[in-house]
Amino acid sequence: MPDPFGGHREGALESPRPIVPTPATMAGELRGRRVLVGLPGHGWRCDLRADEKVIQGSRTYVPVMPEAEWYRAEAEQTEVFAALVPVERVWVEELGFAGTSIPGAKVNRLVSLDEPPRRPPVAAIDADSLTGRRVTQVLENGEERRDLRAVTETHVSDDGTVAVRVTQELDWYRWGWSGKIPRTLEVPAHLIWVE
């Protein structure tokens, strides 16, 4: 009988790089980048995309829109509304350094309110839920496939492997605005990490 976890559950897996927020004032080009907006001590909003910085008077702003709108604008070549957010309230999602995941380990959940929280990846088999979440697939050679969304929870595939179905983010959002069912790929769960 095949190992349902793909034979990789016992050893420590190399996790994908974590998401590390960086102030937009320190970032280069912003167009299409994932961003968070907010105010230290108050809170943060995520699942947003940015356009290039604009200057009005003596202030610098970042046009920010919901990620779904960004994908729709790119796919259909249309104009969408973007809020102008002061650059000092925008943080860019950068990729940090990869580490090793310990299956079942819990991450310290206390954070500082001075900046958006860092998001270490969580192995799919350790996540509370998956459907709709941003995920990364780590290929056998260590390469990372990002901009994916999980469309199912973990399940046992026809060949007995614990798996997750994923889709490209563009197809995930297109499903929302057009109703078109996305193409999906069944991936062994040990290769999927929640961002």
Task: For residue 151, give the CATH number of its domain.
Answer: 2.30.30
User: b vs e for 105-121, b when ≥16 Cβ sit within 10 Å of the residue's Cβ?
Assistant: eeeeeeeeeebbbebbb
Domain identity same for 30 and 7: no
For residues 86 and 26, membership in a common domain is answered with: yes
Say if residue 5 is in the same domain as residue 30. Answer: no
Render 96-156 in DSSP notation, one character per residue.
Answer: ----EE-TTPPPP----TTSPPPB--EEGGG-S--TT-EEEEEPTTS-EEEEEEE-S--EE
pLDDT of amino acid 110: 77
Instruction: Note the pLDDT of residue 5.
Output: 47
| Average of per-residue pLDDT values in the chain | 89
Same domain, 50 and 62: yes
> What's the number of domains the chain is made of?
2
pLDDT score of 100: 45
User: In the structure, what pLDDT confidence band is assigned to residue 125 with cuts at 50, 70 and 90?
Assistant: very high
Q: Does the structure show a pLDDT above 50 at 3?
A: no
Q: What is the pLDDT of residue 14?
A: 82
Domain assignment of residue 148, given as a range: 1-16+121-195
> pLDDT tens, 14-41?
889 999 999 999 988 999 999 999 998 8
Query: pTM for the full model?
Result: 0.84
Per the model's pLDDT, the better-predicted residue between 7 and 141 turns out to be: 141
Pair 47, 81 in one domain: yes
What's the pLDDT tens digit per position in 38-79? 998 899 999 999 999 999 999 999 999 999 999 999 999 999
